[in-house]
Structure 1
Amino acid sequence: MAPDREGNGVRVLDVMRGSPAAEAGLRAGDVITQVDETEISEPRDLIGAIVQRQPGEQVRVVAMREDQQRTFNARLVSRQEALNNARAEADRRQQEMRRQQEERDRQGDRERQADRDRQEERERQADRQRQQERERQEARERQQDRERQQERERQERERQQERERQQERERQQERERQEDN
């Protein structure tokens, strides 16, 4: 709690879950201006109004919320019960913080795993592309080998045809010599 900036009461800074203030409906930001018949203008007024009462008593709390006056009924608790409630709330908050941290850790783990999975997929894709390029290169080389082989065969056929023509010319020349003789 803190004095209100305008000096019109005591501003509630925080309300612990399960506390009498929370059960009454008070919220952080409310400005308490009265407890039963006691006007409240500073924190010691509020403390004085509460310590005069016994645990279990009901008190009427008047507070301002967003420029509207509201009335709350709160049941007072002993200091020990308040400490127990505060410890329980602190434990609950700590557990909640641990749970949130664990969830952030799990989320981080999931994100890191997703990053690893994406990286592995990129690597697999790159491997597939390299393999496809090797296969295309091998296919080009096989095609070039076939074309070279076909060219060698064509050249061999031309040489063979040239030899056959040469032989035919030689036979023709031989026949012509024999006819001339």
Structure 2
Amino acid sequence: MVYTLSQSFKVEYTEYEEIEEEFVLNVAQLQLEDAKPADTVVFEKPSAIQMRFIRPLFIRALIEGRLVGRVMVDGGAMVNVMPTSFFKKLGKDEDELKPTDTIMTDFTRSGQQSRGALMTDITVGSKTLRTAFFVVDADSQYNLLLGRDRIHANECVPSTLHGKLF
């Protein structure tokens, strides 16, 4: 459900520039037109230390004996995802995909048909498991996305706080 504010709300943004690779402060103030100064709500951007804990969890893995960086662990994803660009880097052919009628839906509820599923061995740490990846046409910041399917099969607990899998 989405709520929108009427035009009677005034939003002021205060932005500071990046200094020595850290953002000093970004503040957004929401003030009701008829409100008293004490009714002002201030939203502050987390500090650099706090920002460290809200980054995505990226790990390295071995897929078919090749070291792969930028493997994102996402406890909110139901399935494992492989972008088509990485599928091609592995030298795979469309014939190796198992046909599927699965429609992948992202957080914006936009969906797209999966090209198919690829079964492959992936090693994370000392565990090697046969894993199914849904191959999708997507621009991504990751090479592979490991969802709950892989997390539970590997019996691990992801921690963005520690930046590790336990």
Q: Does the alignment reach a TM-score above 0.5?
A: no
TM-score, normalised by the number of residues in structure 1: 0.24
The structure with more radius of gyration: 1
TM-score, normalised by the number of residues in structure 2: 0.25
Higher relative contact order (CA 8 A, sep 6+): 2
* Structure number with higher helix proportion: 1
